[in-house]
Structure 1
């Protein structure tokens, strides 16, 4: 025996229920986006958060350290790059000391050469977004540089063409370990590129890097001249 045909009313009810579920999901997404945007606006407009060495997003670079410091560099790195990691692991402590002492200012520029070689396919972009979020919400050069050291730590930095990399939750945990506020951790966990898009930041930095004869990373720029980030470039600056 053939099953009884469904009535038109039942069909209409099923369609209506399905539409309601879709509208509910969309409404939840819209509300979530609105909450995230409100958080960004609140944190981005607080004039009371002042620090001796304030860190902040400055266009396609992160401003880390005192802008009036006697030592001024631009630093190009890739979050997945093993050579960028080597530099931060070997020189990070001294860089941090000079930042804290007001001796060094870094215009930190991320690129994403190796994004496609990460397990997730977008690790570079997500790590860049996380660094920007930490700087924006903490406004602390100390916290921001600690986070940079965390993502390049030997037991944390993912391998190029590895089977895994850091999830948003893991990046958020590292941000918390560095001292970033809960708001930054929440934003990193959500992973929405608001108001920073790591891929766009990297794309804008790439032409700047390619103007140098050997556009590899890590690259330090001192007075417009490029030097290998794994060289003794710190000796060229006031200690």
Structure 2
């Protein structure tokens, strides 16, 4: 083999080796890029999952550590008191009496309070209406942890003993916890009472020891079995909150936004 041939052959070998190196490098670059993308996606997914868990936990426990703001109610010359497991507010000689059954955790009860609460309070303050409020623990298992609706109902009766039921009731509904999530703790309920001016130590003690818990639980069972309080819920009959009654009959407040004005107007005619 001559020198020229050896030189040409060596050049071809060098070109082949360079080509293989280029292919290997190209392949290595693609793999590295793909790996980088995969790692980035995994990191992004992990961040989304962790962020979601943090948001969910924060949302779940939104009421934790909060001070419940107090609500102002119209000044009234009429007393607030507890009659067994019922909070009674207004003029004992008022021409109209209504009974309202509600649960502090019930979102429909919250909407009822937003729509009609101010009007009810005004008619009570004016002596036109006697209000009997039954706070029932219907959704006792619908908070995390369970028990908020029972704790709140118990606390509201103790607030009634202190003459502060309406302000306590309205404050809890104005800042209502979300169903299925954390309610307010006993200490938060106690602090709300303090902020409303309840100084009697019996209030805090009654909340901590669940003074009316057993009675409220038994009353919830009785009410749920009372057919006079049953309504039709899409083909299913039973008790639900809120329920309003007048003279022993259920008031269809959802069908007639003027129901309260009509009740008081008819009483005066």
TM-score by length of 1: 0.67
Cα separation, partners in 2 of 1:79 and 1:118, compared to 1, 3 Å: same
Cα separation, partners in 2 of 1:172 and 1:128, compared to 1, 3 Å: same
Contact 1:85 1:157 in 2 (8 A): yes
1:235 aligns to what? Answer: 261
For the aligned residues, what is the CA RMSD?
Answer: 2.5
Cα separation, partners in 2 of 1:212 and 1:189, compared to 1, 3 Å: closer
Aligned-partner Cα distance in 2 for 1:59–1:104: 20
Aligned-partner Cα distance in 1 for 2:213–2:142: 25
Matched residue of 1:169: which SS? helix
Contact 1:78 1:84 in 2 (8 A): yes
2:11 aligns to what? Answer: none
Residue 209 of structure 1, CA deviation? 6.5
2:96 aligns to what? Answer: 71
Unaligned runs of 5+ in 1: 1-50
Aligned-partner Cα distance in 1 for 2:93–2:261: 19
1:217 aligns to what? Answer: 241
Contact 1:171 1:188 in 2 (8 A): no
Matched residue of 1:115: which SS? coil
Matched residue of 1:152: which SS? helix
1:146 aligns to what? Answer: 167
Residue 191 of structure 1, CA deviation? 3.7
TM-score by length of 2: 0.60
Unaligned runs of 5+ in 2: 1-75, 233-238
Contact 1:69 1:105 in 2 (8 A): yes
Of 166, 171, 183 in structure 1, the residue corresponding to residue 201 of structure 2 is: 183
Residue 198 of structure 1, CA deviation? 3.2
Contact 1:77 1:109 in 2 (8 A): yes
Residue 52 of structure 1, CA deviation? 4.1
1:114 aligns to what? Answer: 139
The Cα offsets for residues 167-211 of structure 1, whole Å up to 9 and x where unpaired, read as 011112222333433435423552432587432333333333764
Structure with the greater alpha carbon radius of gyration = 2
1:80-95 equivalence runs, <5 A: 80-95=105-120
Matched residue of 1:238: which SS? helix
